[in-house]
Amino acid sequence: MRRLMIVDDSNIIRSKIARALGEHGLEVVGLSPNGEDAVERCVSARPDVITMDITMPGMDGIECIRRIRSLNPDVRILVVSALADKATAIQALKEGAQGFVCKPFTEESLTEAIGELFSEE
Amino acid sequence: MFGIDLGKYRTIVISIALFLIFDLGVLVLNFFISSEIASDAVNVNLAGRQRMLTQRTAKLTLQLENRAQAGVPQDVELKELIAAFSLFDRTLAAFERGGETASGDGKPIRIAAVDDGVAQAVLADARKLWDPYKARISEVIESGRASPAVASALVTQAERANLPLLKLMNDLTTRVEELAASKATLLRAVQVTGISLATINFLIILFHFIRHLRASDRQLEQARKETDDILRTTQDGLFLLDTQAVIGVQHSAALERVLGTTALAGRSFYDIISPAVTPKTLDTTREYIDLLLRHDVKEKLVASLNPLECVEVQVAQGPGESDSRYLQFGFNRVFENGKVTHLLVTANDITRRVRLERELQASEERAKGQMGLLVEILQVEPAVMNQFLRSAQDGLQHINRQLRDQGSAREVGGETINAIYRIAHRIKGDASALGLSSLATSLHSLEDILNGLRERPALSGEDFLPVTVRVKGLFEEIEAMHLAVSRVAQIRGVVSVEAPRPQHDPGVEALPFVQRWKDFAVRLAGEHDRAVELNYHGIDAETLPDSLREALNSMVNQFIRNSIVHGIEDTDTRRRRGKPEAGRLSVYISARDDGGVDLSFRDDGQGISVSKVRDAAVAAGRLTADEAAAMDSRRIVGLIFEPGLSTRETVDEDGGRGAGLDAVKAMVMQLGGQIRIGSTPGEYCHFRLSLGALPSLAPIDKTEDKAAEEVPA
Amino acid sequence: MDEQQLRIFVSIIQHYFEAETGRPAEVGSPFLCDPAQLPVHDFTGVIGISGNRKGCVYFSSPREILREMLLRAGETDVSDENLADLAGEIANTISGNARREFGHEFLISVPVVVRGTHQSISVPRDVRAYVIPFRWHKVDASLVVSVM
């Protein structure tokens, strides 16, 4: 069972993602409301996959991806964010995320994206 | 095998390896057999020498015997005998068991035992003959000299052994020669076999590869042709980008059409798109391509970030004209050995699709807007609606004339603004009376702008730009409503959408125009937390001429609004004052003999507060505090018909702008007539209007004496 | 065409007059006009608009304004050719500036000059056009914006 960590400052989004992916065979091992918490938590939670918001109070998603990547180079990261600025999203991906899902998202689009994340290209 | 994947070269590598193995095998065998043949040649020589040595030995024994019998020294012969004897003996032993002997030139030489049955049998026979012969010779050698008896015994022995030994050595020589010859034959056979195998291998290679090469040439040719066909006929622009974003040497023919550029091969993709996109989009494109080329991401999961999903480009279509087209670029990664080496880019002209989508979207929005509008329109009688729309359009045209007539004058009068304001306010009042809320909102925003202009010290023509823009929008809204009404009319023509109104009350109270006033009053009162009841007495206004009826309708609407916003108190206050909870609005219209009409509008609210009006006039800058104090209450009350004056503290759609009564005054001026006001604070407010067919000389702000007296100073 | 975009056209023209003659043009209050009644003076520079919205923008001036401008610039040849050239120049300036201001919102064509009123200027039918009056040197000119 793949271990999932969700990083998002919105409580509603966190539970929406947890619900959608929990029902599709992922074990939710961490919920983080901000970047600092996520970096700290990802060491003990040992997730296989992380969904990451970009705009968050304090440490933003880009910095958070950079830190997590240095702690755990194998984790797969899916950026889940509103598409205000494509350039910012691309920046986040370059820091080491593998995919992007635009908010607002449907449960299907999210589960498909997670499937795609672990597919062989 | 060695962890190297030889791929398609496997066969050729194996073939060449086989060729080398054959060659090497032949070479080794050749080497080996040649060396054998060389040693065999030595053996042949040695065997021949043995043959010669038997004769020499025999000859020396005879010479020795002669010497011995002659009694002459025999040293030379003896010495030669020893040499011949020992050489023969050593060589024989070497042939038998292998060992050292002397070569032709006297040097020591090692030879192997002759490993041939026939030769060994010959040697064994020779040994039998040699050993007694050898014993005799040894005796002579050991004694140092041969007596005549010994010598003759030796000769006897020699005679006995000589010929058979010669024959045997001859046989040996022949045999050894035969062995050498057979090895040479073997060598030839090996060489022939090796060369044959190598030739066969070569032929196989040749055959196999030529076939394969031909096949792959054919495949390549076919593939090239197919690629060419695809690139020539596809409607998509297709090309490859390398890691430096340079366009590859091949691209589809359609690409030049899609991009409207030729000679694309080898050019930077960024150079080609940069004229069509903003610098920011160009930067984002660089980043996106870099992301695809150099980062571990999932293509499908980043496709939504493609900044070239829809690029608008301008295409010249002749002088003074141009058209825009929309291009879509898609990027797919090309992998080789797990590494991204290129991006396959598809470029498409999606103009048609974009246009269709936009049209669809626009028509959906129109449909949505029309739906709301229809609901509003359906609640109004078509005839009333048409009348309203006509008058609203007239009003807007009037506003537009005001704007136009100002021309390019530098100084623009506040009078124009007031005139526009009055018209807008009247239309707004009518619109909200009919429940056309979206139109009322639009008019309200026009009022906002006019209000802003009023506060400016100096105005230029440009300041009216937002007004003109709003007016255009209003024209369009009214036109849309016209269209909707005519559609509704069509529907109504087919089926009756609404059941006919029950006519159980034949009185004037049930007349549609009265009903609308009542509805409006109740709705507006509801919005302001008031309760009201409207009563009507008098003639059927529908019988009046259009213009007069419209004006009356507008005025009553304004009075209703004025009463509810400024006059009627909330229910608590009314109860305290001993009034019924619902405020009473009484409307009365009567026709005069001279063709004019009288309108009476009365409410039992708090009346007009002279002090509030005075304060408002001072606050609005209409009067200085001194002027206001000096002015009598009649003239103060008259100010409520002036533009831009309201005693209400907050501004919303319904009041507070002080424009309602201003519009009434303008209409009265237009129709000709007069206004009289009566009011007692805390008790009532009464407007009486005489309209039409009167000389319009009477000043409008003239208030009725009695009413004025009732207004406390 | 919203208020902001109209303002850009207005300011382009104001700036042109100010820069070329040192004397700004007075802007009158804008009004709406049916296509049939649009003001057309002696020389008109027309710019086509395409893209999401289609239509045209034109600046039409009477001979007097153009002549006065030429004279002020020290040009003594005030033939019709030169006047048309100047009208084209004004339209070019409007087109160039508008291109910069609007970026990719609108696609703006190379302007053409129309002389007199006999040559028809193709404006979208069924659209109320904005007319923005300008007054310079006591003569009226008009900017017309008619975009669907």
C-alpha separations of B88 from B50, B103, B172 in Å: 6, 12, 13
Q: What pLDDT score was predicted for residue B712?
A: 34
C23 touches chain B (CB under 8 A): no
CA distance B246 to chain A (A): 21
A vs B, Cβ pairs < 8 A, gives: 58
Pairing of strands C107-108, C112-115: unpaired
A91 touches chain B (CB under 8 A): yes
Say yes or no: B267 contacts chain C, CB-CB below 8 A: no
Which pair of tokens denotes residue C139?
Answer: 């003569």
Residue B506 buriedness (CB in 10 A; 0-12 / 13-18 / 19+)? exposed
Sign, CA torsion B488/B493/B494/B495: positive
Within a domain: residue A64? yes
Task: Give contacts of A 50-79 with B, CB under 8 A.
Answer: 78
Digit-coded pLDDT (tens) for B142-151: 877 778 888 8
The 10 Å CB-count burial string (b at 16+, else e) for A61-87 is bbbbbbbbeeebeebbbbbbbeeeebb
Give me the domain span that covers residue A23.
2-115
Distance (Å) from the alpha carbon of B333 to chain C's nearest alpha carbon:
30
- What average pLDDT score do residues B81-101 get? 87
C50 vs B322, B400, B471: nearest CB: B322
Which one, of B443, B462, B438, B478, lies nearest residue C3 by Cα? B462
CB within 8 Å: A113 and B301: yes
Lowest mean pLDDT among B97-111, B288-302, C87-101: C87-101
Contact in structure between B664 and B641 (CB atoms under 8 Å): yes
- Chain A closest-CA separation from residue B243 CA (Å): 16
Q: Give dist(CA B691, CA A44) in Å, integer.
A: 88
Q: How many domains does chain A have?
A: 1
CB atoms under 10 Å from CB of B444, counted, come to 19
Query: pTM for this one?
Result: 0.43
Q: Which of B288, B299, B333 sits opposite A90 (nearest CB)?
A: B288
Dig out the tokens for B324 from the structure. Answer: 């825009």
Q: Work out the number of other CB atoms within 10 angstroms of the CB of residue B687.
A: 23
Beta bridge partners of B346: B238, B330
User: What is B379-430 written as a DSSP string?
Assistant: TS-HHHHHHHHHHHHHHHHHHHHHHHHHTT-SS--HHHHHHHHHHHHHHHHH
* Cβ neighbour number for residue B303 with a 10 Å cutoff: 16
B331-356 residue pLDDT tens: 999 998 888 899 999 999 998 888 88
Tokens 């304060």, located at residue:
B615
pLDDT for A28 equals 92
pLDDT tens digit at each of 148 positions of chain C: 678 888 888 888 888 888 888 888 888 889 999 888 888 899 998 888 877 778 888 999 999 999 988 888 788 888 888 888 888 888 888 877 777 777 556 677 777 888 887 566 778 878 889 999 998 888 999 999 988 7
Cβ–Cβ gap B403/C30 under 8 Å: yes
What pLDDT is attached to residue B711?
Answer: 34
The pLDDT of residue A66 is above 90: yes
Compute the average pLDDT of residues A6-15: 85
Asked, for residue A105, whether it belongs to a domain, the answer is yes
In terms of CA atoms, which chain A residue is nearest residue B337?
A: A121
Distance CA B673, CA B642 (A): 17
Chain B nearest-CA residue for C2: B469
In 3D space, the residue among C33, C47, C29, C45 whose CA is nearest the CA of residue C109 turns out to be C47
Which among B324, B404, B410 is the nearest to C107, CB-wise? B324
State the Cα angle at B321 between B315 and B325, rounded to 5°. Answer: 30
Residue among B282, B461, B164, B629 at smallest CA distance from C141: B461
Establish if B314 touches chain C: CB-CB under 8 angstroms: yes
Are B307 and A86 inside 8 Å of each other by CB? Answer: yes
CB-closest option in B312, B404, B472 to C128: B472
- Are A82 and A103 in contact by the 8 Å Cβ rule? The answer is yes
Residue B540, number of CB atoms within 10 A of its CB: 13
Among chain B residues, the shortest Cα distance to A73 is held by B296
**Which among A87, A90, A99 has CB closest to B301?**
A99
Q: What residue in B sits closest to A77 (Cα-Cα)? A: B297
A120 in a domain, yes or no?
no
User: What confidence score (pLDDT) does residue B292 get?
Assistant: 92
Query: Which domains are present in chain B?
Result: 7-205 (1.20.120.240), 237-349 (3.30.450.20), 362-494 (1.20.120.160), 508-710 (3.30.565.10)
User: If you average pLDDT over every residue of chain B, what do you get?
Assistant: 81
Listed residue (C139, C127, C136, C134) closest to C32, CA to CA:
C127
Share of chain B above pLDDT 90, in %: 10
Residue A121 lies in a domain: no
pLDDT at B304: 86
How confident is the model at residue B606, as a pLDDT? 87
Would an 8 Å CB–CB cutoff place A109 in contact with chain B? no
pLDDT at B189 > cutoff 60: yes
Top-confidence residue, B123 or B413: B123
Nearest CA in chain A to B308: A86
In chain C, positions 100-119, which contact chain B (CB-CB < 8 Å)?
103-104, 107-112
What angle do helix axes B546-562 and B660-671 make, rounded to 10 degrees?
150
Rounded-to-integer distance, Cα A74 and Cα A77, Å = 9
Is C47 in Cβ contact with B475 (below 8 Å)? Answer: no
Tens of pLDDT, residues B633-692: 778 888 888 776 666 655 555 555 555 788 888 888 888 788 888 888 788 888 888 887
Three-class SS state of C39: coil
Eight-class DSSP state of B509: G
Contact between C27 and B400 using a beta-carbon 8 Å cutoff: no
Per-residue pLDDT, B239 = 92
Of A86, A89, A116, Cβ closest to residue B298:
A116
CA distance B177 to B190: 20
What is the pLDDT averaged over residues B594-599? Answer: 82
For residue A77, the domain's CATH number is 3.40.50.2300
CA distance B314 to chain C (A): 6
Q: What is the DSSP string of B654-680?
A: SSSSS-HHHHHHHHHHHH-EEEEEEEE
Residue type, B586: S
pLDDT for B690 equals 85
Q: How far is CA B678 from CA B75, B248, B632, B688, B701, in A?
A: 189, 90, 15, 8, 12
Contacts of B269 (CB under 8 A, 6+ apart): B241, B245, B246, B247, B289, B345
Whole-angstrom distance, CA of residue B398 vs CA of residue B423? 8
pLDDT score, position B709: 35
pLDDT at B497 over 50: no
Q: What is the pLDDT, as a whole number, of residue B62?
A: 86
Tell me, yes or no, if C77 comes closer than 8 A to chain B by beta carbon. Answer: no
Nearest to B403 among C31, C51, C112 (CB): C31
Q: Quick check: C29 and B471 CB within 8 A?
A: no
pLDDT the model gives residue B504: 38
Whether chain C has a CB inside 8 Å of the CB on B397: the answer is no
B55 close to B166: Cβ distance less than 8 angstroms: yes
Domain assignment present for residue A102? The answer is yes
Question: In this model, does residue B108 exceed pLDDT 90?
Answer: no
The residue in chain B having the minimum alpha-carbon distance to the alpha carbon of residue C114 is B320
Least Cα separation, residue C11 to chain B (angstroms): 10
pLDDT exceeds cutoff 70 at B525: yes
Q: Cβ separation of B297 and A87 shorter than 8 Å?
A: no
For B371, B387, B501, C5, the CA distances from B493, given in Å and listed in that order, are 19, 19, 17, 44
- What is the set of domains in chain C, with CATH numbers? 3-147 (3.40.1550.10)
- pLDDT band, very low/low/confident/very high, at B611 (cuts 50, 70, 90): confident
Span B164-183, pLDDT tens digits: 888 888 998 898 888 888 88
Query: Does residue A11 register a pLDDT over 70?
Result: yes
Least confidently predicted of A93-102, B562-571, B605-614: B605-614
State mean pLDDT over A112-121. 83
Is A108 part of a structural domain of the chain? yes
Distance CA C52, CA B323 (A): 10
pLDDT of residue B19: 80
* C-alpha–C-alpha distance, residues B364 and B330, integer Å: 29
| C134 and chain B in contact, CB less than 8 A | yes
Lowest-pLDDT choice from B93-102, B567-576, B621-630: B621-630
Q: Chains A, B in contact: 3+ Cβ pairs under 8 A?
A: yes
Say whether pLDDT at B473 is over 70: yes
Higher-pLDDT residue of A26, B72: A26
A45–chain B Cβ distance below 8 A for any pair: no
B316, B323, B412 member nearest C29 (Cβ): B412
Q: Which two tokens stand for residue B305?
A: 């970030």
Task: Cite the DSSP H helix spans in B459-527.
Answer: 465-494, 512-527
pLDDT tens for B34-87 read 888 888 888 888 888 888 888 888 888 888 888 888 888 878 888 888 888 888
- Quick one: closest CA in C to B469, which residue? C3
C-beta atoms of B461 and C133 within 8 A: yes
For the stretch B393-396, contacts whose Cβ atoms lie closer than 8 Å and that sit 24 or more positions apart, written own/partner, are B393/B475, B393/B478, B395/B423, B395/B424, B395/B426, B395/B427, B396/B423, B396/B427, B396/B471, B396/B474, B396/B475, B396/B478
Who's near B497: CB < 8 A, 6+ residues apart? B378, B488, B491
| pLDDT-wise least confident of B184-188, B425-429, C117-121, C125-129 | C117-121
Share of chain B above pLDDT 70, in %: 89
CB A61 within 8 A of CB A38: no
Distance of residue B394 Cα from the nearest chain C Cα, in angstroms: 14
DSSP line for B552-589: HHHHHHHHHHHIIIIIPPPHHHHHHTT--SSEEEEEEE
**What is the ipTM metric for this complex?**
0.87
What string of H, E and C letters represents the secondary structure of B681-698? CCCEEEEEEEECCCCCCC
pLDDT in tens, B261-289: 888 889 999 998 888 888 888 999 999 99
